[in-house]
C-alpha cells in the first residue's frame, strides 16, 4: 500500500468490539477507509432494546441482552458519555437462593452466618490465589475448593452462584479458572464488593443501568460515519473470507436482496464470535487459528422476559422476610436488618437447582435495574456542562454516592416505580445441551410472557485460559487479520470495547482515551495479553 493511500479495513460485526474499532479509525479519515458489515438489521450485537407496553409496565422499552455495568467499566462509560448517553447509578442488591438456603449482600441471613468458618478461610485463600495467580489460572474453582477443604455446600450455595452472577459463567462455573474468582474482590478493574468475614459480601455497590441501547448504538453508528471514512453495510451477511495474501483480503457477503458481492481490503478485523470467525475463514484458516479458536466453547441459553410474579415468588426471595435473618450480633446487624425492611429491592436473583446444585438459574428485576422505569429519559441522567466529565466522578450531580435514590426506586421528582405485580422480570435458562432437564421455564405463565430470545454464550471454563487466551497474541496481526470480541478473554461489554480499540490501535489508530488512567489501565493490559505488544507512541511504532 502506497504511503499516500488510505488503508482499506473490513470490520465484520457491529457489536461493541466492531463499533469500537470503527470509532478509533473514524478519527483518522486521512488514513483509513473502513467498511463495517453485520447481518443484523441494526448495530449493537447483544446490546439490544425491545419495545414493551408503557401503559402496563411503566416504561416503553427494555434493554434485552445487556443490562448494565460496574463503575470500573471506564471505556464503556466514557464512550457512552461521548455519544450523549449516560448510565444511571443503582444499588446492586442480590437475592441468592430460597427459604433456608437464602442469603444476600444486603443483610446477614441464617445461611450466610452458618458458613462463617468457611467464609473466614475463603478470605485467606483469596490472598493465596492472588499471590500464585499464574498457577491458579490453570486450576478450576471446584478443584480449588477441594484443595482447601471447603465444605461442598459452601461452594454450591455461595461460591458458584456468586461467580456465575459476576462473570456470566452460567452452569460452567465449577470449571472456570480460580484466578477469575480472586478478581471479584481484589482486582481494581473488576472489584465490586468488599470482603466480609461474617457474611462474605459486605456492601451494596453502585452499579450502572445502561441507557436505551438501541438509541445508543444508532447514535454510535452516526458518530462513526461523521468523517466520511466509515461505511456501514447493515443487513449484509458475510459469507466467506475468500483470500488472505500479500495482495490483501477478499471478503464475500450476501446483500439484503440475496445477491452475493465481494470486496478487497488491506486488513480484516473479525469482530464476531470465534465459531463464526472459523466458519468464515473456512479452508483459509491456519492450523493455529483452527486450534485456538476451536477451543472456545459456546453454550445455548434462552431468556424469557415476563411479569409472572407468582413464578418469581415460588423460586426466589423477592421480599424481606425477617424470619430468615441471622441472629443479631450487634449494632451493624440491626442497622442492616432495618435497612432491608425499608429498602430491600433486588436487581439480581440466583437459585441453584436442588437436583444438581452446581447448576443455577438467574433472573433480573428489570423494573428495579433499568432507569427508564423511574422516569429517566433514554439518554440517561442530564449531561454535565463538559461532555468530557467522567460519569463515575462523585462530584457529578448525576452520581448518587449514597445509592439511596436508586435503592428507593424513585426519580429526583419522587416518581415511584410500578407496583411489584407489574414489574418486568427476565429469567435466563442456561446451557440447553447440559441442563435443559433442570429448567422450569414451563412454569412461567404464557399470558405473562413478554419476549423470548435465544443466545449463544461463551463458556469460561479453565481450559479457555490456557488453550485460548495466551495464544491470541500469536494470531492477531497475522495474515492481515485481527480478532476482536469479549470472548478473547472474558465475556464483558468492557472487554469487547477494549478489544476493538486494541485491534484499531494495531492498525495505526490512536487509542481514543489516551491520558485517562482508568480507561488506559485495561487497554494496556488487554493489548499486552491479546496482542503481545505494549502501548507506545504512534510516531515510533509501525503497523502489524
What strand order describes the sheet that includes 88-91?
68-69, 206-209, 88-91
Q: Which of 458, 488, 523 is the last residue of a domain?
A: 458
User: How far is residue 307 from each of residues 26, 52, 59, 129, measured CA to CA in Å?
Assistant: 42, 12, 13, 41
Q: Is 111 helix (H, G, I), strand (E, B) or coil?
A: helix
Concatenate the DSSP letters of all residues of 413-480 into one string: T-PBPPPGGG--EEEEE--HHHHGGG--GGGS-GGGEEEEEEEEEE--BTTHHHHTGGGGGGTTTGGG
- Structural domain includes residue 145: yes
Considering the domain architecture, whether residues 398 and 262 belong to the same structural domain is answered as no
Q: Which of 416, 432, 458 is the last residue of a domain?
A: 458
Q: Are 55 and 29 in contact (CB under 8 A)?
A: no
Measured CA to CA, the distance from residue 340 to residue 440 in angstroms comes to 29
- Structural domain includes residue 472: yes
**Of the candidates 217, 187, 213, the residue with the CA atom closest to the CA atom of residue 87:** 213
Considering the domain architecture, whether residues 321 and 443 belong to the same structural domain is answered as yes
- Structural domain includes residue 536: no
Considering the domain architecture, whether residues 329 and 279 belong to the same structural domain is answered as no
Residue-range definition of the domain harbouring residue 262: 7-48+212-296+461-531
Q: Is 481 helix (H, G, I), strand (E, B) or coil?
A: strand
Q: Match 445461611 to its residue by C-alpha cell.
A: 111
What is the predicted pLDDT for the residue at 190? 63
What is the predicted pLDDT for the residue at 543? 41
Concatenate the DSSP letters of all residues of 196-228 into one string: ETTTEE----EEEE---HHHHHHHHHHHHHTTS
What is the predicted pLDDT for the residue at 193? 67
What is the predicted pLDDT for the residue at 413? 56
Considering the domain architecture, whether residues 326 and 292 belong to the same structural domain is answered as no
3-state helix, strand, coil in the chain (%, to 5): 40, 20, 40
**Of the candidates 39, 26, 19, the residue with the CA atom closest to the CA atom of residue 80:** 19
What is the predicted pLDDT for the residue at 221? 98
Question: Looking at the 3D structure of the chain, how many domains does it have?
Answer: 2
**pTM score above 0.85:** yes
Q: Which helix (H) or strand (E) holds 310?
A: helix 309-315
Query: Any bridge partners for residue 104, and if so which?
Result: 95
What is the predicted pLDDT for the residue at 189? 61
Considering the domain architecture, whether residues 396 and 493 belong to the same structural domain is answered as no
Beta strands 200-201; 61-63: pairing state: unpaired
Q: CB count, 10 Å around CB of 127?
A: 12
CATH number for position 502: 3.50.50.60
- Structural domain includes residue 58: no
Considering the domain architecture, whether residues 104 and 191 belong to the same structural domain is answered as yes
Considering the domain architecture, whether residues 314 and 261 belong to the same structural domain is answered as no
Considering the domain architecture, whether residues 286 and 365 belong to the same structural domain is answered as no
What is the predicted pLDDT for the residue at 541? 39
Considering the domain architecture, whether residues 499 and 525 belong to the same structural domain is answered as yes
Considering the domain architecture, whether residues 326 and 194 belong to the same structural domain is answered as yes
Q: Which of 432, 458, 484 is the last residue of a domain?
A: 458
- Structural domain includes residue 391: yes
Contacts 24+ apart (CB under 8 A), 326-331: 326/108, 326/109, 326/110, 326/112, 326/113, 326/199, 327/110, 327/113, 329/198
What is the predicted pLDDT for the residue at 398? 41
- Cite the DSSP H helix spans in 30-140: 54-57, 74-82, 110-114, 116-131, 133-136
What is the predicted pLDDT for the residue at 397? 38
Considering the domain architecture, whether residues 221 and 197 belong to the same structural domain is answered as no
**Of the candidates 308, 135, 122, 256, the residue with the CA atom closest to the CA atom of residue 197:** 122
Considering the domain architecture, whether residues 199 and 345 belong to the same structural domain is answered as yes
Q: pLDDT per position in the chain (544 positions), as tens?
A: 555 689 999 999 999 999 999 999 999 999 999 999 999 999 999 999 999 999 999 999 999 988 898 888 999 999 999 999 999 999 889 999 999 999 999 999 999 999 999 999 999 999 999 999 889 888 888 899 999 999 999 999 998 888 777 665 556 667 777 887 777 677 766 666 677 787 888 678 888 999 999 999 999 999 999 999 999 999 999 999 999 999 999 999 999 999 999 999 999 999 999 999 999 999 999 999 999 999 998 888 999 999 999 999 999 999 999 999 999 999 999 999 999 999 999 999 999 999 988 888 999 999 999 999 988 999 998 865 444 444 444 444 344 433 444 445 555 555 667 789 999 999 999 888 888 999 999 999 999 999 999 988 887 677 888 899 999 999 999 999 999 999 999 888 999 999 999 999 999 999 999 999 999 999 999 999 999 999 874 433 334 4
Concatenate the DSSP letters of all residues of 360-404 into one string: EEEEEEHHHHSGGGGT--TT-SPP-SSTT--TT-TTSTT--SS-H
Amino acid at each position: 500500500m502506497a504511503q499516500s493511500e488510505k488503508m482499506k479495513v473490513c470490520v465484520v460485526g457491529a457489536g461493541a468490539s466492531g463499533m469500537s474499532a470503527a470509532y478509533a479509525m473514524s478519527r483518522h479519515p486521512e488514513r483509513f477507509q473502513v467498511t463495517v458489515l453485520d447481518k443484523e438489521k441494526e448495530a449493537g450485537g447483544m446490546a439490544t432494546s425491545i419495545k414493551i407496553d408503557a401503559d402496563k409496565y411503566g416504561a416503553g422499552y427494555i434493554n434485552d441482552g445487556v443490562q448494565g455495568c460496574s463503575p470500573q467499566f471506564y471505556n464503556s462509560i466514557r464512550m457512552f458519555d461521548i455519544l450523549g448517553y449516560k448510565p444511571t447509578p443503582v444499588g446492586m442488591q442480590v437475592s441468592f437462593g430460597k427459604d433456608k438456603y437464602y442469603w444476600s449482600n444486603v443483610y446477614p441471613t441464617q445461611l450466610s452466618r452458618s458458613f462463617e468458618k468457611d467464609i473466614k478461610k475463603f478470605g485467606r485463600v483469596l490472598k493465596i490465589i492472588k499471590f500464585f495467580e499464574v498457577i491458579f489460572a490453570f486450576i478450576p474453582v471446584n478443584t480449588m475448593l477441594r484443595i482447601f477443604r471447603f465444605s461442598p455446600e459452601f461452594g454450591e450455595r455461595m461460591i458458584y452462584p456468586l461467580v456465575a452472577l459476576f462473570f456470566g459463567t452460567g452452569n460452567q462455573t465449577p470449571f472456570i479458572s480460580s484466578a477469575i474468582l480472586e478478581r471479584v474482590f481484589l482486582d481494581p478493574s473488576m472489584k465490586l464488593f468488599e470482603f466480609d468475614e461474617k457474611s462474605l459480601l459486605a456492601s451494596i455497590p453502585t452499579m450502572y443501568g445502561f441507557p436505551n441501547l438501541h438509541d445508543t448504538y444508532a447514535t454510535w453508528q452516526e458518530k462513526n460515519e461523521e468523517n466520511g471514512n466509515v461505511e456501514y453495510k447493515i443487513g449484509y451477511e458475510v459469507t466467506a473470507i475468500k483470500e488472505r495474501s500479500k495482495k490483501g483480503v477478499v471478503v464475500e457477503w450476501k446483500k439484503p436482496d440475496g445477491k452475493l458481492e465481494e470486496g478487497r481490503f488491506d486488513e480484516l478485523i473479525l469482530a464476531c464470535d470465534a465459531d463464526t470467525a472459523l466458519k468464515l475463514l473456512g479452508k483459509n484458516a491456519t492450523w493455529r487459528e483452527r486450534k485456538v479458536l476451536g477451543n472456545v466453547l459456546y453454550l445455548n441459553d434462552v431468556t424469557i422476559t415476563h411479569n409472572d410474579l407468582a413464578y418469581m415468588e415460588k423460586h426466589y426471595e423477592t421480599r424481606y422476610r425477617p424470619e430468615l435473618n441471622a441472629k443479631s450480633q450487634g449494632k451493624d446487624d440491626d442497622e442492616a436488618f432495618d435497612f432491608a425492611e425499608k429498602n430491600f429491592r433486588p436487581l439480581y436473583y440466583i437459585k441453584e437447582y436442588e437436583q444438581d446444585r452446581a447448576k443455577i438459574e438467574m433472573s433480573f428485576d428489570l423494573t428495579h435495574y433499568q432507569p427508564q422505569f423511574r422516569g429517566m429519559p433514554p439518554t440517561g441522567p442530564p449531561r454535565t456542562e463538559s461532555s468530557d466529565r467522567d460519569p463515575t466522578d462523585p462530584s457529578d450531580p448525576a452520581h448518587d454516592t449514597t445509592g439511596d435514590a436508586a435503592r428507593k426506586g424513585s426519580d429526583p421528582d419522587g416518581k415511584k416505580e410500578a407496583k411489584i405485580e407489574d414489574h418486568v422480570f427476565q429469567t435466563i435458562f442456561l446451557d440447553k445441551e447440559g441442563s435443559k432437564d433442570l429448567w422450569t421455564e414451563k412454569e412461567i405463565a404464557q399470558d405473562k410472557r413478554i419476549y423470548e430470545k435465544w443466545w449463544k454464550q461463551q463458556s469460561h471454563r479453565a481450559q479457555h485460559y490456557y488453550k485460548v487466551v495466551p495464544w491470541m497474541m500469536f494470531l492477531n496481526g497475522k495474515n492481515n487479520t485481527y480478532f476482536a470480541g469479549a470472548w478473547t478473554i472474558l465475556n464483558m461489554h468492557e472487554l469487547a470495547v477494549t478489544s476493538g480499540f486494541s485491534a484499531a490501535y494495531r492498525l495505526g489508530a490512536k487509542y481514543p482515551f489516551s491520558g485517562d488512567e482508568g480507561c488506559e489501565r485495561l487497554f494496556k493490559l488487554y493489548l499486552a495479553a491479546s496482542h503481545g505488544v505494549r502501548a507506545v507512541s504512534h510516531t515510533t511504532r509501525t503497523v502489524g
